Structure 1
């Protein structure tokens, strides 16, 4: 039988993860809306409308990989790329 204190500690950690997931969803939705606004403004101002810029996406991934490397608990660089590629992909599908 598991120690009730360990189960309680695990549940607290899970609650913290749930709170982080909620924050992440809010931020991803905010990012999505900003991307949509950029595309709308490009159209409004007669600029060439790009559904995505591969160069901009790569710059973003490279910048985040560097930030990750400099952290005290880095993730694998490939994971950073995968996560942001998925975010980019979902943003494009939203159009």
Structure 2
């Protein structure tokens, strides 16, 4: 098996263990994503600067990190509605 097959199997097992997390659990996970990005912003900036040759940290924060923060904010705002039974 290749690593993608193993990862996919892990994702399926995690879903089977908890197919419908509560709103509170989902919000906590979103908060953890934000904290993880915030804790690693400097590493992202250094890595992308090395990858691109020259890339200002502000550009990375705007183009990469800010997009994640906005997605988290948008998801938090709409999550309760999205979770309603249809």
TM-score w.r.t. structure 2 length?
A: 0.42
| Bigger relative contact order, structure 1 or 2 (CA pairs below 8 A, ≥6 apart) | 2
Structure (1 or 2) with the greater helix fraction: 2
Q: TM-score, normalised by structure 1?
A: 0.40
Structure of greater Rg? 1
